[in-house]
Amino acid sequence: MPSSISSLAVVPTLCLIPILALAGPLLFRAVGALLGLYLRKKTDGRLSHILELTEQDEKKWREGRRSSGSSSNSGKDEEWEEVDTYTVGTSGNGGKGEADWDGVVGFFHPFCNAGGGGERVLWAAIRATQQRWPKAKCIVYTGDHDVNKDAILSRVENRFNIHLHPPTVNFLYLTTRHWVLASTWPRFTLAGQSFGSLIVAWDAFSLLVPDIFVDTMGYAFALGLSKFLFPEIPTAAYVHYPTISTDMLESLDPTSTVGSQGVHAGQGTGTRGKAKKLYWKLFAKVYSHVGASADVVMTNSTWTMGHIQKLWGPLRRSNRPIAVVYPPVAVSELEQEVEVSPESEKKREKVLLYIAQFRPEKNHQLILQAFAEFVKTSKSPAAKEAKLVLVGSVRDDHDSKRVYQLRLLVNELHIKARVEFHLDASWPEILEWLRRASVGVNGMWNEHFGIGVVEYQAAGLVSVVHDSGGPKMDIVVDVGGGFTGFHATTPSEFAEGFEKALSLENPLEVRLRARESAKRFTEEEFARRWVREMEPVIGLNKLKVTTEKRRV
């Protein structure tokens, strides 16, 4: 309760930040420095406690390993002997001589136990950090009060098969996470959630001021607050998608090239539409300023990098280029679970598989319309046997209603006998469909990356994806001089893509090429790129007082 009250009490101060900025840079920096000093003094005691606790846990862990001898866990423990597993080069920032860096890295991820692709990035990043800098302390700021450290790490192992070194991972629990929920801001959601992230970030810094601050959820305003309070603390951002993009702004205009795309398509007309456009433009300017404050910026795709470069690039002070660090995908697991060979080819069916949550932006309607056109107009043998399988999770009543509407559309299109819905399918069920299907489908406009499409490729499926975003620019590209799939935009183009994908003369050749393409997105490749980008951040921290000196 006290922490919650403290966070609420700072709301008026956060509201004054824009006014302070207008009052002059000197006053702005002075107020930030004073607030930062207050937070440092407030959290020094907790820092000392965490360091002592880490030292005790490390000692217990080593004693336990010695006493267990050659137990079943020894193989897993040996990971931590390989300090430089993912080291890239020997640059001056973070080279082998700095493997004993023992600072505190704060990972801002209020929903760390969600179990999605964003969380896979978080845990893979922490593992790479631990293996490169084994003495570093990784702190996760989370709002998941219903689970303790052991439960979270157990879920990480079971869900992602990622094994972390427990002594150097700790969790600090936020009391203000509801401020970033969309349900808290039914109006002006973009601005509301961004303001809410300031409150949650203040909550985080009230618990502990780290040596390095890393945002892995896309809360750019948290990065800005960190620089306002602690200009000397290096910051890093991993951006899954821009909170607002130039494509979003353009989609409001029905006459633009993207005016028919996205969930806000063509909404920029009339008085209300013009007001919305103005609001989005103003928000984009503020978002650009706070995001540009990050010292190191990583993005999950070329598409995301392009938009972040447009928004943040012109305002950045750091000379470190914005980098693409593809998110880790369980490519190795899929290679083991799904066979791609002449024998497995005989078991493939004329199944088009679309794995996606039943959310509006996934555009299931487009795929259904395209499939109906394909089976009704194509005279090929493939069309007569083709089946569309929709696999996805249902999060709430809104998703349930959406599935009901999709079932109605299936009836209206007279393709009920050809379409199957599999809701909340288990991982073994999904693997079975990946073995049986021939084609993987993605209908989302401007999918930021497309982990599902990489999984299609790793399983040897020929992809037919929307001609935009990550699937177009990064994933479904030519490899080894040959194609790995097809791009489409309209129902007719998708129907044509289905026809081509199901009528290949040598589908196994394309499947093997797709599987080779997927190797660019392994967990090992992510770790190498992550370390490469974090090395300069560790280098910046050399100028600061080390954690041990701060404790003294």
Q: What average pLDDT does the segment 501-524 reach?
A: 96
Question: Which stretch of 90-104, 145-159, 287-301 has the lowest confidence by average pLDDT?
Answer: 90-104
Q: Please say whether the beta carbons of 244 and 288 come within 8 A.
A: no
Per-residue pLDDT of 192-224, as tens digits, reads 999 999 999 999 999 999 999 999 999 999 999
Per-residue pLDDT of 434-476, as tens digits, reads 999 999 999 999 899 999 999 999 999 999 999 999 999 999 9
At 72 the pLDDT is 47
Question: At a CB cut-off of 8 Å and minimum separation 6, what does 534 contact?
Answer: 94, 129, 132, 236, 296
Q: How many residues appear in the chain?
A: 552
Q: Quick one: three-class SS letters along 382-410? A: HHHHCEEEEEECCCCHHHHHHHHHHHHHH
**CA-CA-CA-CA torsion sign (499, 504, 510, 511):** positive
Per-residue pLDDT of 333-368, as tens digits, reads 999 999 999 999 999 999 999 999 898 999 999 999
312-327 burial, b at 16+ Cβ within 10 Å, e below that, comes to: bbeebebeeebebbbb
Q: Global pTM?
A: 0.85
